[in-house]
Each structure stands twice: as structure tokens, then as C-alpha cells.
Amino acid sequence: FEWFPGIPVYHSRDLKNWELYTHVLTDDEKVDLKKLPSAKGVWAPCLTYCEQEDMFYVVYGVMNSMNARYFDVDNFMICAKDIKGPWSEPVYLHSSGFDASMFHDTNGKKYIVSLEWETREGYEKPGAICMVEYDPEKKEIVGYPKRIW
């Protein structure tokens, strides 16, 4: 979570024997985890590959706190042509959900999918699954997240 280098990627040819292949976060200037308490930091990194672009994407959250009735998490995205890097600068996505991932649609559009944290009394936590479009050219979210489930 808060250890560095972050987001290890392992490789296996038989799904039985694994070797450390690389780390996605290798520059502590790109993500500051120094002031976070134990068990906070990088949560639920999701690695995807977009064949149309020949590009790897990692979406991850930085959990800042769970002390309130909600999770205080910031979601980021980084990308690279080669899984060994170099990786791009982190792009801030949003703080409206956690365990985010990226969906690459066949029409070329990209979407960030995340789980909404339900904060109302008496409701099951977590809440809905939300989706919002991501514009890779502008490196920003398009519009507002919509509940899809």
C-alpha cells in the first residue's frame, strides 16, 4: 500500500511460477505516500491494455483516510507503451469512488468505472457502480459519473 516502489507486476508462463517483472510506480516524486498511515496508500491498482493504441494503462486509488463515514480516496491513471516503462505522469481522475478501473470501448472511447461509497444511514455499503467518460487527449474526465448498477 504505502511501500515503494509501488504496484509490482509479476510474470508467469504457467500461472504457478511467478517472477517480479517490474514496478509501475518507481518515482517517489510522482506519488507522495510519505505522510500516509499504515494500510493507506495505493489501493486496488487495475492494469489494462488497449490493443488499438498498443498502450498499457494503470488506474489506482490513493487511500488517504477511512476515519470518517466515507473513504477519502483520490483516483489516478498512468500509461506506458511498454509495461516496463517509462510510465507517464499520474493524471488525477476523481475522488468520487474507489477500486476504479478503465474500460476501453471498441469505438475508441474510454471510461472510468468505480464503486461509489454509500454514506447514508441504514444503507448497505458499498453503493452503486458508476461510470464516467475519460478523454485521453485532454487527460480529464468528461461530464459526471453515472450510476450503471
Ordered strands of the 110-115 beta sheet: 98-104, 110-115, 129-135, 140-147
Q: What are the grid coordinates assigned to 73, written together?
A: 480516496
Residue 46: predicted pLDDT: 96
Could you report the per-residue pLDDT of 90-136, keeping only the tens digit for each? 999 988 878 999 999 999 999 999 988 766 676 666 678 999 999 99
Query: pTM for the full model?
Result: 0.86
- Mean pLDDT throughout 21-41? 78
pLDDT: which is higher, 132 or 149: 132
Q: Residue 23 pLDDT > 80, yes or no? A: yes
- Mean pLDDT throughout 4-8? 87
Residue 68: predicted pLDDT: 61
Q: Residue 66 pLDDT > 70, yes or no? A: no
Domain 36-147, CATH number (from 2.115.10.20, 1.10.630.10, 3.30.360.10, 3.30.750.24): 2.115.10.20
Which H or E run includes 42? strand 41-50
Distance separating alpha carbons of residues 131 and 145, to the nearest angstrom: 5
| Structural contact between residues 56 and 102, judged by C-beta atoms closer than 8 angstroms | no
